[in-house]
Amino acid sequence: TSVLLLNGPNLGRLGVREPDVYGSTSYAELVRLAARWGDEHDLAVDVRQTDDESEIVHWLHEAVDTRAHVIINPAAFTHYSYAMRDAAAQVTKSGLLLVEVHISNPHARETFRHTSVISGVATGTIAGFGLGSYRLAVQALADALA
Q: Which residues are annotated as a binding site for substrate?
A: 73, 79, 86, 103-104, 113
Indicate the helix (H) or strand (E) that contains 83. Answer: helix 82-93
Share in percent of the chain as helix, strand, coil (round to 5): 50, 20, 30
- Virtual torsion, Cα 63, 114, 23, 83, nearest 10 deg: 30
- What whole-number distance in Å separates Cα of residue 109 and Cα of residue 7? 20
Distance (Å, whole) CA 112 – CA 130: 20
Q: Please, which residue, 42 or 110, has the CB nearer to ligand DQA? A: 110
Please give the residues from 9 up to 68 whose contact with ligand DQA meets the rule CB under 6 A.
10
Q: Is 99 in the site for ligand DQA (CB under 6 A)?
A: no
Residue 102 annotated to the active site: yes
Least Å from the CB of residue 67 to ligand DQA: 26
49 or 73: CB nearest ligand DQA: 73
Return residues touching ligand DQA (CB under 6 A): 10, 73, 75-76, 78, 102-104, 106, 113
Active site (catalytic) residues: 22, 102
